[in-house]
Amino acid sequence: MLKTFPKGGVHPEEGKYSANSPIETLPLPKTVYIPIAQHIGAPSKPMVAKGDKVKVGDKIAESLGFVSANIHSSVSGTVAKIEDILDSTGYKRPCIVIDVEGDDWNENIDRSADLKKEIGLSDKEIIQRINESGIVGLGGATFPSHVKLSVPDGKKIDVLIINGVECEPYLTSDHRLMLEKAEEMLVGIQILMKALGVNLAMIGIENNKPDAINHLKELVQNYPGIEVHPLKVQYPQGGEKQLIKALINREVPSGGLPLNVGAVVHNVGTAYAVYEAIQKNKPLFERVVTVTGKSVKKPSNFIVRVGTPVSNLIEAAGGLPEDTGKIINGGPMMGKAINSLEVPVVKGTSGILIMPEDISSRKKQSTCIRCAKCVSVCPQGLEPYLLAKLAKLEKFDKLEAGGVMDCIECGSCAYTCPAGLPLLDYIRLGKARVSKIIRSRKQ
């Protein structure tokens, strides 16, 4: 029997149209818009001004504080301005706008394609370099990676979990990465293992990617300590807490972090970025992005420079289909619709999903009949119908008692609700308010 998490979960239509499209390099855009807030935590502080010349890989914004990340230029050219641009948050936020001139890389970056296996740096140096390279979690949450690697004193980590699940329907960027950059990724995992001082790494992959599982199983024979585990196809298998439960059968306590149970989870994309940062001295300024959808002419996986407008990606994938109803940044379950085609790709953009009109609007709403389908699919064991109602009524004390802060916002409840109720919308609103209350209580 395949491993999985014990409660809840759904299985939406997979729609992995781009699974067989090899990763292509997207041509350079004319202008890039690099937001200074691409990660969870404090926004970075721009270090360049209008008129400055930058090279690919130059640091253009530095992190402010521990939970923050550096940002590097993804192109070479001239800084045109620092202006508020509509980004994937749906709001205008400060972006560094760079006009592209040629493709002139910083001299320190090793651009050769050879695989470099020896790890020359010590654990402290690795974490330092990861911090310097601006690496954040590439699974979508964009949490600065060096924070996860800096284990507080007194905590013991015994396993590194690598998330290759890609449980979001449609998306295939991690899948392609595991097929095409497997060796690099495995070296990246070894680097992460060294930084954490652990001897065991487990790669969890959903069973709908047999080619990736077999490929990696073959390769890990040369990499001691790394194991590959196929997992049941069930959303949200790739949720951090669900993955830990499925692989090592430990439960992250309410309000706790994976390191409370001795585990650290990183995405396969992050592992690859770590390899490039440590072995090739290349900061994080490009990533693999899936461009897909039912009516997209050429569903593809591109290596894209951060800051490239989404319209360039759609153009390269055969143009915007006529029946487009909605464009989503991310997957269909947790992604968010964007309201402009000029929104730039950021470090957390795993895919651009173009939904045809007939399936892009929500179900008609009716009344909750307490069927409890949402309760049975909640992977966190919460009562979504109740939390949504409490959030609507602004009963924040009861919301907190009901465990709203444990919600991982996977959207299984809203997906399954036969009444088409916007459960997650209200829960997310309530969660934001409750977390505000908790923060002010701590002060």
> Binding residues for another protein, per CB under 8 A?
86, 89-92, 326, 336-337, 339, 360-362, 422, 425-426, 428-429, 432
Residues 6+ apart with CB under 8 A from 413: 374, 377, 378, 384, 385, 388, 423, 424, 427
Closest contact distance (angstroms) between CB of 105 and another protein is 35
Closest contact distance (angstroms) between CB of 145 and another protein is 27
Closest contact distance (angstroms) between CB of 325 and another protein is 9
Closest contact distance (angstroms) between CB of 378 and another protein is 19
C-alpha count within 13 angstroms, C-beta hemisphere, residue 138: 26
Q: How far apart are CA 157 and CA 159, in angstroms?
A: 6
**In the complex with another protein, which residue's Cβ is closer, 86 or 408?**
86
Interior/surface letters 359-368, b for 16+ CB within 10 angstroms, e for the rest: ebeeeeeeeb
Alpha carbon separation from 67 to 64, 117, 118, 270, 333 (Å, rounded):
8, 30, 29, 17, 27
Closest contact distance (angstroms) between CB of 92 and another protein is 6
Residues 6+ apart with CB under 8 A from 372: 385
Residues 6+ apart with CB under 8 A from 347: 38, 39, 69, 134, 136, 138, 142, 284, 287, 306
Beta bridge partners of 352: 291, 329
**Residue 330 buriedness (CB in 10 A; 0-12 / 13-18 / 19+):** buried
Closest contact distance (angstroms) between CB of 421 and another protein is 8
**In the complex with another protein, which residue's Cβ is closer, 2 or 432?**
432
Closest contact distance (angstroms) between CB of 118 and another protein is 47
**In the complex with another protein, which residue's Cβ is closer, 92 or 155?**
92
- CB-CB contact of 40 with 143 (8 Å): yes
- Using left for φ > 0, alpha for ψ between -120 and 50, and beta otherwise, residue 234 falls in beta
Would you list the DSSP string of 136-193? B-TTTT--BHHHHHSPPTT----EEEEE----SSS--HHHHHHHHSHHHHHHHHHHHH
Angle at the Cα of 292 from the Cα atoms of 288 and 298, rounded to 5 degrees: 100
**In the complex with another protein, which residue's Cβ is closer, 278 or 338?**
338
Closest contact distance (angstroms) between CB of 355 and another protein is 11
**In the complex with another protein, which residue's Cβ is closer, 12 or 90?**
90
Closest contact distance (angstroms) between CB of 337 and another protein is 8
**In the complex with another protein, which residue's Cβ is closer, 362 or 370?**
362
**In the complex with another protein, which residue's Cβ is closer, 86 or 257?**
86
**In the complex with another protein, which residue's Cβ is closer, 150 or 340?**
340
Q: Is the alpha carbon torsion for 208, 243, 12, 269 positive or negative?
A: negative
β-strand pairing of 263-267 with 159-163? parallel
Closest contact distance (angstroms) between CB of 437 and another protein is 15
C-alpha count within 13 angstroms, C-beta hemisphere, residue 187: 19
**In the complex with another protein, which residue's Cβ is closer, 199 or 361?**
361
**In the complex with another protein, which residue's Cβ is closer, 78 or 360?**
360
